[in-house]
Structure 1
Amino acid sequence: MELLYKVLFFVSGFIIFWAMIGYPISLKMIGKKYKDRRLKKDYSHQPTVTIMVVAHNEEKVILEKLNNIVSLNYPQEKIEFLIASDNSTDKTNEIVKSFINDHRDLKIRLYEVKARKGKTNAQNEAHKTVTTDYLIMTDANSIMSKDSVIELMAAFTSDDIAYVSGKLSIINQQSSDTSKAEASYWDSDLASRETEGRIQTITAGNGALYAIRTADYYDFDPIQCHDSAMPPLYALQGKRAIANHDAVAYEKAGENIEDEFGRKVRMNRIILKHILPDIRILNLFKYKWFSYFYFGHRTCRYLLWIAHLLVFITNLLLIPESPLYTLVFVFQVLFYLIALLVLFSKTNNKYLNLVYYYCVTILAQWCGVFNILTGKAKPFWEKAESTR
């Protein structure tokens, strides 16, 4: 049993280390090797485009979103706008219809989903009405930069590029410790995505802003989300999903931990499947860097919930074996005590809050797993009000 404890301890410890430290460092080193590889752009590439906004009870932000998308820099004759309302019961549909009536010179449509089944289902249904060459997805509470459409289309420079993700820029970083922590996470993650896309392909996208060829659209199960499902799908098809961070969407992060925790629990509604969504990912010889990227950026992160539990339990059982195990166990206890301290004291210390935010993220993974195992995971949710 002692050997089993040691194997579980070191494997779990490696997963935690590689997900949070080892992989980001290795990616920086790999990126330096490919420093001459740059994102190619062709600004003459301006095909027909539909901007799809999925909304459920977004009366607080939908008018601002509509004004935002119709003022984007792109040839008017080549752009259409599609609002997919996921069974909205507030004034969202009324506002959209009024806006359409006031802008009859623009190609704006409202698609009303009759039964609420979540964002992915609304995208699946509304997509079937799209006739343009390309499809851009964006959230109702995200504000797109003026040239975001031009930038997204310019990145489709070869037939193997199937997906282009924009950059999510958090505009309320200084509003709270929670939004600061989320912004810090995004800054790190965006750097990784830029390198992954430059070398081969990113492992996950960003729901705030991304583009695909309409012909490449795939009807996913509504429990899934495009952010985590689309890039791996295309990678396994031998295509590329890349990031163009000159296409920017501005959005608020959750300003209180309750909103952010709820968002992370919902993000983890299919975490078990995403650990290894397809066995082919392990084929390093065929998928090359994508296999490496997915293991470090996704698989290890999606295993943090169980890795932390196993490393804690096995560490406790191994304490009699060596003072080193005692030292590591004390470190773990102090780490979790710091999170509890922040929870009850509401300290403003940046580093202590990062520890707390990390622990909340791990707890959210556990809640996601619990919801999956108990059949409570669902494809839709109530939005975080502090992000509106």
Structure 2
Amino acid sequence: MELFYKVLFYLSGFIIFWAMIGYPISLKLIGVLYKSRTLKKDYSHYPEVTVMVVAHNEEKVILDKLQNILKLNYPQEKIEYLIASDNSTDKTNNIVRQFIKKHQCKNIRLFETKDRKGKTNAQNEAKKNVTTEYLVMTDANSIMEKDSVRELMAAFTSEDISYVSGRLSIINQESSDISGAEASYWDNDMSIREIEGRIQTITAGNGALYACRTKDYYAFDPIQSHDTAMPQFYALQGKRAIANHDAIAYEKAGESIGDEFSRKVRMNRLILKHILPDLRILNVFKYRWFSYFYFGHRTCRYLLWISHFFLFISNALLIPESWLFTVVFMGQILFYILGLVKLITKSDNKYLSLVYYYCVTIAAQWVGVYNIITGKAKSVWEKAESTR
């Protein structure tokens, strides 16, 4: 049994290390080898495009969003606007209708789903009304930089590029330690995605701003999210999903731990499936760097919840074997204590906040797994008010 405990200890430790430290470092080193490979752009590429805004009960922000998209720097004769309302029951639809009446010279349409089945379902249904060559999707609470659509379209420089993700910029990172920790996470993750896309393909996008070729759009199961489903789907087809971080959308992060925890639980509603969603990913000879990217950036991260559990248990059982195991076990205890200190004292210490944020992330993964096992995982959710 001792050998089994050691294998469990070192394997769990490796997964945690690789997900949080090893993979990011290795990718930066690989990026140096591919430094001559840069993101190509064609600013003469002005295809017809539909900007789809998905909303559910967004009366607080929908007017700002509508005003925002009309200010986009893109030829007006080549851009359409489609508001996909996921069975909104507040004033959202009325606000959109009134806005359309006041701007009849603009090509703005409202699509209403009959039932609330979540964001992906609303996108699937609304997409049936899209006739343009490209589709840009964005959230109702995201404010787009005026050149964002132009930047997204400029990145479609070859037929094998099916998806381009923009950059999400957190605008309230100073509002709380939670929003600050989320902003730090996104900054680090954006640098990883930039390298992945430059070399071959990214493993995930973000829902605030992204685009795809309309012909390549796939109607995913409503419980799936485009953020994770689309890049993987295209990669397995031999196509590319890339990132153009000059296409920017601004958004608020959750300012309370409750909002952020709920958001992370939603993100993990398919965590077990995402560990290895398709065996083909293991075929490094066919999918090359994508296999490496997915293992380091996704598989290992989706295994953090169980890896921390096995590391703790196996470490406790190995304490009698060596002083090394005692030191590591005490380190784990100290790490979790620091998270509790942050929770109890509400300290604004940056390092305590990062430890706490990480612990919350792991806890959210556990809740996500619980929801899957108990059948509570769903495609719809209540939005976080602090992000509005």
Q: Same fold (TM over 0.5)?
A: yes
Please say if 1:66 is aligned against 2:66. yes
Aligned partner of 1:123 in structure 2 is: 123
Gaps of 5+ in 1: none
Distance in 2, Cα, partners of 1:8 & 1:221:
35
Structure 1 segment 16-95 matched on structure 2, within 5 A? 16-95=16-95
Please say if 1:363 is aligned against 2:363. yes
Aligned partner of 1:275 in structure 2 is: 275
Distance in 2, Cα, partners of 1:220 & 1:313:
38
Distance in 2, Cα, partners of 1:122 & 1:276:
27
* Cα drift, residue 2 of structure 1: 1.1
**3-state SS of the aligned residue for 2:250?**
strand
Distance in 2, Cα, partners of 1:277 & 1:226:
14
**3-state SS of the aligned residue for 1:82?**
strand
Aligned partner of 1:103 in structure 2 is: 103
* Cα drift, residue 348 of structure 1: 1.0
**3-state SS of the aligned residue for 2:315?**
helix
* Cα drift, residue 170 of structure 1: 0.3
Distance in 2, Cα, partners of 1:42 & 1:21:
35
**3-state SS of the aligned residue for 2:16?**
helix
* Cα drift, residue 6 of structure 1: 0.7
Aligned partner of 1:241 in structure 2 is: 241
CA RMSD of aligned residues (A): 0.4
**3-state SS of the aligned residue for 2:166?**
strand
* Cα drift, residue 245 of structure 1: 0.3
Structure 1 segment 282-301 matched on structure 2, within 5 A? 282-301=282-301
Aligned partner of 2:310 in structure 1 is: 310
Please say if 1:179 is aligned against 2:184. no
CA deviation vs aligned residue, 1:167-225 (integer Å, no higher than 9, x gap): 00000010000011000000100000000000000000110000000000001000100
Aligned partner of 1:147 in structure 2 is: 147
**3-state SS of the aligned residue for 2:58?**
coil
In the superposition, the TM-score normalised over structure 1's length comes to 1.00
Distance in 2, Cα, partners of 1:43 & 1:353:
42
CA deviation vs aligned residue, 1:267-289 (integer Å, no higher than 9, x gap): 00001100001000000111000
CA deviation vs aligned residue, 1:297-351 (integer Å, no higher than 9, x gap): 0000000000000000000001011110000000000000000010000111101
* Cα drift, residue 117 of structure 1: 0.3
Distance in 1, Cα, partners of 2:4 & 2:95:
61
Distance in 2, Cα, partners of 1:296 & 1:342:
29
**3-state SS of the aligned residue for 1:146?**
coil
Please say if 1:191 is aligned against 2:191. yes
Aligned partner of 1:342 in structure 2 is: 342
Aligned partner of 2:229 in structure 1 is: 229
Distance in 1, Cα, partners of 2:227 & 2:237:
17
CA deviation vs aligned residue, 1:15-52 (integer Å, no higher than 9, x gap): 00000000000000000111111100001110000000
Amino acid at match of 1:85: S
**3-state SS of the aligned residue for 2:169?**
strand
Amino acid at match of 1:186: W
Distance in 2, Cα, partners of 1:84 & 1:8:
48
Distance in 1, Cα, partners of 2:301 & 2:83:
34
In the superposition, the TM-score normalised over structure 2's length comes to 1.00
Distance in 2, Cα, partners of 1:285 & 1:328:
38
CA deviation vs aligned residue, 1:366-385 (integer Å, no higher than 9, x gap): 00000000000000100000
Runs of 4+ in 1 over 3 A off after TM superposition: none
CA deviation vs aligned residue, 1:45-70 (integer Å, no higher than 9, x gap): 10000000110000000000000001
Distance in 2, Cα, partners of 1:34 & 1:286:
20
Aligned partner of 1:260 in structure 2 is: 260
CA deviation vs aligned residue, 1:122-149 (integer Å, no higher than 9, x gap): 0000001100000000000000000001
Distance in 1, Cα, partners of 2:279 & 2:373:
22
Distance in 2, Cα, partners of 1:265 & 1:342:
21
Distance in 1, Cα, partners of 2:252 & 2:54:
17
Distance in 1, Cα, partners of 2:65 & 2:24:
35
Aligned partner of 1:203 in structure 2 is: 203
Aligned partner of 2:2 in structure 1 is: 2
**3-state SS of the aligned residue for 1:81?**
strand
Aligned partner of 1:15 in structure 2 is: 15
**3-state SS of the aligned residue for 2:106?**
coil
Distance in 2, Cα, partners of 1:185 & 1:17:
16
Aligned partner of 2:158 in structure 1 is: 158
Amino acid at match of 1:147: D
* Cα drift, residue 3 of structure 1: 1.0
Aligned partner of 1:138 in structure 2 is: 138
**3-state SS of the aligned residue for 2:277?**
coil
**3-state SS of the aligned residue for 1:186?**
helix
Distance in 1, Cα, partners of 2:59 & 2:351:
37
> How many percent identity over aligned positions?
77
**3-state SS of the aligned residue for 1:211?**
strand
Distance in 1, Cα, partners of 2:329 & 2:114:
53
Aligned partner of 2:167 in structure 1 is: 167
Amino acid at match of 1:157: T
